[in-house]
Amino acid sequence: MIVRTVAQTTGTPHHASGPGWDSKRLIVAADQVGYSVHDTTVKEGAEQILEYKHHIEANYCFAGEGEVVDVASGITYPLRPGTIYVLDKHDRHILRALKGDLRLVCVFNPALAGAETHQADGSYAPLDTAATD
């Protein structure tokens, strides 16, 4: 059984951040469960252009309000507590935190190693080239 808290993860190599975002990676590739789980905060006013070329990501919003834009279609979807969105086709998207910090539980498949930050194109490197623990 794996039991971890956000407090235990804060300040460790599994606590990653970048401009406008902060992510505590609670479950990572080394846990060998096939996915990673993150507690992620996107700061109010932040906008990120992302495209996970090597991962499928599900995001469950539990605080704040924002929106996600599907770049291919131009459709904007509102995000508020109780909303989930899944980037099941490696969708290029724009994520915006509009009202309060956007708080998300993020699940990645394949799992992230834990210390990754976004590459210039908004993706994470595939695990075989990412730093592992």
Q: What is the pLDDT of residues 25-59, one digit of tens each?
A: 999 999 999 999 999 999 999 999 999 888 899 99
* Residue pLDDT, tens place only, 61-119: 999 999 999 999 999 999 999 999 999 999 999 999 999 999 999 999 999 887 676 66
| Cα-Cα-Cα-Cα dihedral sign, residues 77, 79, 84, 90 | positive
Say yes or no to pLDDT of 127 above 90.
Answer: no
Angle subtended at Cα 6 by Cα 122 and Cα 60, rounded to the nearest 5 degrees: 55
The reported pLDDT for the residue numbered 24 is 97
Secondary structure E strands in 5-46? 15-18, 21-27, 36-42
> Does the reported pTM lie above 0.85?
yes
For 18-112, CATH number out of 1.10.10.10, 3.50.50.60, 2.60.120.10, 2.60.300.12 equals 2.60.120.10
